[in-house]
Structure 1
């Protein structure tokens, strides 16, 4: 089936989902879109997106994608009172592809329930954020039944052109994404620590991070977090509570499989400290809606520092 013949359904157009769908539409895919807040999806109509009112209206597509916050959200849009499986009109799509970051247990349970309806479930979590999507550098990891995974991969490559890795059956992609986000938390915490150390001793943050990004320890991640750490721009790419969730998922797997994860455990406590400090403030919801890199301010306070923007024009490296 060619891309012009395949009908794609999409659930969820948050910070990531909106731009992922936008890339599919710009590549001339036929995409029907549902979002809990319909108004957030409506601008996609100008690119050819078909905005639907109910999840049941997606039951006629060939392949259904979703990207939501948690496992319970995915179960709700699939099996809830207004869910697509519960209210399907006619045949369900034969392949459901989920790009969310959820637990292995949630994924296993959802897979079993979909199997009862003759639906193949493909895990396809992604690596990146809105800036990465715009730059065309998003990547994805895929697991599930091989034939259906390979059918889905050309579509996934449209919004994840940097690379799509098939890692095997079942929930293996979930494990990869949890491990990925554990590293995300550990790296941002250590990057903040060393940046504050250098800064307190007299090195401007923009200069220190330029050195890091140009060296062997630099990465796409350290580069695109540089403007935030230099200019204190905390526009959310990923919130501290979502990062805490993923660290907890990693620590649970470590306990289950007898893999010690002391660095992850320490990082989790630092993030909890930041969340706890935010919860003590009257504008806690606003603080916790900001980027997880904002914990640099919490760490600076513990270091006897008060951060101010350096107002430097630094690139993202994307």
Structure 2
């Protein structure tokens, strides 16, 4: 069993850290809102720290799941950052969805101290985190990945190294690009059924068994038809992710016309007050349009 730190106790990080403690690891958590760290410690029996540096001190692995590039830098760097508390040979595993640019920047910073850095963004949503069934796509040195993989396997159904530093984040971009197109396509299909006077559930029962079947269709069609959006992955976060995708596409010369269009559709959802709605709320936009 390893000595671990976990930084960031949002809807994903809170249960992930809990799985690690339950598996027998010695886990110390840090969260920007200290009350949440205290609640986690009371629930799971682990320790809490006042700063990322304190949490990371003496840890073999430091896991993080925060919000964006700036949040990640803030928990990694500076006098109270995790890097200041980590010893040579320790490994930082970042589960945040961030840009490949900040990943490579931090990889270099950690390497200067002799510490490892694995970018390991996750997919599977809150349910995947709670059930320990996440898909984890990783970038970084093979040796660092090999050392960290048994730790990540506690909350993963699939964990794979894709390539060097930044490869995990780029793979997560591909994931978000695919989801954006799928959700828009599903929304349009349900919209077509509804406008044609068909029973949406009956339509899904048939098409889900053929080539149109997908995780989004199976897990979101009922809440979409019921106009229920207070769950899942927020539109605000999806727009953050899609902007990362579009910026990276400019850097590498990739063409993402559908992604750019769906990003604007999500902007419309935000203007409807749906920034915290699930990403399947693209259907609500079509209903509003009539």
- TM-score, with length taken from structure 1: 0.85
1:168 aligned residue: 163
1:257 aligned residue: 252
Structure 2 unaligned residues grouped into runs of 5+:
none
1:104 aligned residue: 100
Q: Kindly indicate whether the alpha-carbon contact (under 8 Å) linking 2:122 and 2:135 is maintained by their aligned counterparts in 1.
A: yes
1:50 aligned residue: 47
Of 37, 42, 55, the residue aligned with 1:41 is: 37
| Number of equivalent positions | 288
Cα distance between partner residues in 2 of 1:200 and 1:245: 32
Q: Kindly indicate whether the alpha-carbon contact (under 8 Å) linking 1:237 and 1:291 is maintained by their aligned counterparts in 2.
A: yes
Cα distance between partner residues in 1 of 2:18 and 2:227: 29
Q: Kindly indicate whether the alpha-carbon contact (under 8 Å) linking 1:127 and 1:138 is maintained by their aligned counterparts in 2.
A: yes
Q: Kindly indicate whether the alpha-carbon contact (under 8 Å) linking 1:60 and 1:93 is maintained by their aligned counterparts in 2.
A: no
What does residue range 1-318 of structure 1 map to in structure 2 within 5 Å? 4=1, 6-45=2-41, 46-58=43-55, 59-80=57-78, 82-86=80-84, 88=85, 91=87, 94-160=90-156, 162-275=157-270, 277-278=271-272, 284=273, 287-302=274-289, 304=290
Structure-2 change in CA distance of 1:135 and 1:231 (3 Å): farther
Structure-2 change in CA distance of 1:174 and 1:213 (3 Å): same
Q: Secondary structure in 1 aligned to 2:208? A: helix
Cα distance between partner residues in 2 of 1:24 and 1:297: 38
Q: Cα RMSD between the aligned structures? A: 1.9
Moved >4 Å (runs of 4+): none
Note the C-alpha offset of 1:207. 2.4
Q: Kindly indicate whether the alpha-carbon contact (under 8 Å) linking 1:67 and 1:100 is maintained by their aligned counterparts in 2.
A: yes
Q: Kindly indicate whether the alpha-carbon contact (under 8 Å) linking 2:7 and 2:63 is maintained by their aligned counterparts in 1.
A: yes
Structure 1 unaligned residues grouped into runs of 5+:
279-283, 305-318
- TM-score, with length taken from structure 2: 0.92
Note the C-alpha offset of 1:255. 2.3
1:312 aligned residue: none
Cα distance between partner residues in 1 of 2:38 and 2:155: 19
Note the C-alpha offset of 1:129. 0.6
